[in-house]
């Protein structure tokens, strides 16, 4: 997995905002000492790979000295993250609150005040999936638009690049059974697909269950397929179809334990034609983990689980050429490399 580049953008917002991008790893916006009495610190990964995601953490803070002029309700801040290629907007996501620190925090050392002078800090998060089909291009940029409680809009841009990555191509021969599953157009299978898509399209901004690094759902290290493999399915009747692999396959024997990769809420636990016994867990607004082809489930819809909790046993149900566990992550409906989330993708270790 590619390591994170932790870019820090310290922003002191006043009347006249003057951008000065020092490098791809540090960006500072500053102005004169008149006007808005709060600070923003931004952390983000500025050079991910295609198929990863870009996550931006924004810390809004106010010192005691700033609050003497006007105490601001930092929780009232709203913000939007946008990804551009040149003038074309590729995607956008809303920021959501991931903590609520209304009490003075003596441990943080924020720009704009001493640690003992910090009155309040609120942390917001947003993430955008990056297509595995994209390639490096110097024209990418991130735009953040935000407003405080007075609703006045501000925006700034951040430098951003993609690092090229090669993906595996493979041909998978299917027997008559798996060919039948792959080409099944029955009302039952279509309804199952529609139900899953509806779940994955749901974004509840109050459901931020875990922002620390996630853990793979099995201790196994043997992978039989990788994220974003370019696939050709060779059907038993001599025809074929192309596909993209949305997750990671672990080659484990039937009955191996499968655990939740992070704290969350089980939003689906059922048998499906394509994926067999399957579990879907919600972790963050718009972020879900999926576990396919299991032989037995140990959770039900509505259960809350912690990282490492047993959720099922591996198997070969659904469209499977042998026993394995398929682990998948979806962000805003798009498949994202699961390995990305085993790093500190929210910059939780930064104080």
Summarised one tens digit per residue, pLDDT across range 81-126 is 999 999 999 999 999 999 754 333 333 443 444 455 777 889 999 9
In this prediction, residue 26 has a pLDDT band, given cuts at 50, 70 and 90, of very low
pLDDT at 73: 84
In this prediction, residues 41-69 reach a mean pLDDT of 87
pLDDT at 76 over 80: yes
pLDDT one-digit tens code per residue, 320-338: 999 999 999 999 999 999 9
111, 39 in Cβ contact below 8 A? yes
pLDDT at residue 53 above 80? yes
The rounded distance, in Å, linking the Cα atoms of 144 and 11 is: 12
Task: Give dist(CA 321, CA 173) in Å, integer.
Answer: 9
296 within 8 A of 277, measured Cβ to Cβ? yes
- CA 234 vs. chain centroid, Å, equals 32
pLDDT digits (tens, 9 = 90+) for 232-250: 999 999 999 999 999 999 9
CA distances from 135 to 45, 52, 175, 219 (A): 16, 12, 35, 32
Q: What is the pLDDT of residues 254-266, one digit of tens each?
A: 999 999 999 999 9
For residue 62, what are the contacts with CB-CB under 8 A and spacing of at least 6?
Answer: 37, 38, 39, 71, 72, 74, 118, 119, 120, 121
Question: What is the sign, positive or negative, of the torsion defined by CA atoms of 132, 134, 139, 141?
Answer: negative
Nearest by Cα to 327 from 284, 336, 208, 267: 336
Q: What does the alpha-carbon distance between residue 203 and residue 185 come to, in Å, rounded to a whole number?
A: 28
Per-residue pLDDT tens digits for 279-307: 999 999 999 999 999 999 999 999 999 99
pLDDT value for 36: 58
| pLDDT band, residue 74 (cuts 50/70/90) | confident
Name beta bridge partners: 256: none
CA-based nearest residue to 249, from 226, 272, 229, 218: 226
Q: Quick check: 15 pLDDT over 50?
A: no
Give yes or no for residue 215 having a pLDDT over 60. Answer: yes
Q: Read off the pLDDT band of 49 (50, 70, 90).
A: very high
Query: How much is the pLDDT for 72?
Result: 81
Helical residues (DSSP H) of the chain, grouped into ranges = 64-67, 176-182, 187-200
- How many other C-beta atoms can be found within 10 angstroms of the C-beta atom of residue 273? 18
Tell me how far apart the alpha carbons of residues 82 and 67 are, in angstroms, rounded to a whole number.
Answer: 30
Torsion angle (degrees, nearest 10) of CA 192, 226, 208, 274: 10
Q: Does the model's pTM come out above 0.85?
A: yes
The whole-number average pLDDT for the span 186-194 is 98
Instruction: Report the alpha-carbon distance of residue 155 to residue 277 in Å, rounded.
Output: 46
Report which of residues 115 and 181 the model is more confident about: 181
Helix/strand/coil for 198: helix
Question: Does residue 350 contact residue 6 with C-beta atoms inside 8 Å?
Answer: yes
Q: What is the mean pLDDT of the chain?
A: 86
- Paired residues of 159 in beta bridges: 141
Least confident of 5-9, 46-50, 174-178: 5-9
Q: How confident is the model at residue 351 (pLDDT cuts 50, 70, 90)?
A: low
């Amino acid at each position: 997995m590619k390591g994170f580049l932790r870019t820090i953008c310290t922003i002191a917002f006043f009347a006249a905002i003057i951008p000065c991008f020092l490098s791809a790893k540090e960006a500072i916006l500053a102005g004169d000492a008149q006007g808005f009495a709060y600070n923003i610190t931004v952390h983000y990964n500025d050079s991910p790979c295609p198929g990863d995601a870009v996550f931006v953490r924004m810390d809004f803070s106010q010192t005691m000295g700033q609050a003497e002029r006007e105490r601001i309700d930092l929780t009232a801040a709203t913000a939007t993250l946008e990804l551009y290629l040149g003038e074309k907007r590729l995607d956008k996501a809303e920021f959501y609150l991931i903590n609520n620190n209304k009490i003075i925090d003596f441990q943080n050392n924020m720009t704009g005040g001493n640690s003992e002078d910090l009155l309040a800090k609120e942390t917001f998060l947003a993430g955008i999936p990056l297509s595995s089909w994209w390639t490096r291009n110097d024209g990418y940029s991130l735009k953040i638009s935000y407003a405080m409680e007075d609703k006045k809009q501000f925006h700034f841009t951040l430098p951003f690049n993609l690092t090229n990555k090669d993906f595996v191509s493979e041909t998978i021969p299917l027997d008559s059974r798996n060919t039948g599953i792959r080409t099944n157009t029955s009302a039952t299978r279509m309804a199952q697909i529609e139900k899953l898509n509806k779940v994955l399209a749901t974004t509840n901004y109050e459901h931020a269950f875990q922002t620390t690094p996630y853990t793979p759902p099995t201790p196994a290290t043997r992978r039989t397929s990788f994220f974003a493999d370019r696939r050709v399915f060779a059907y038993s009747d001599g025809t074929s179809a192309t596909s993209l692999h949305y997750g990671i396959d672990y080659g484990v024997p039937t009955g191996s334990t499968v655990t939740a990769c992070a704290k969350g809420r089980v939003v689906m636990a059922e048998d499906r034609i394509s994926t067999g016994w399957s579990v879907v867990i919600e972790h963050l607004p718009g972020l879900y983990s999926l576990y396919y082809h299991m032989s037995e489930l140990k959770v039900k819809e509505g259960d809350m689980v912690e990282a490492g909790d047993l959720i099922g046993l591996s198997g070969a149900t659904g469209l499977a050429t042998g026993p394995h566990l398929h682990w998948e992550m979806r962000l805003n409906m798009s498949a994202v490399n699961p390995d990305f989330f085993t790093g500190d993708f929210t910059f939780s270790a930064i104080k």
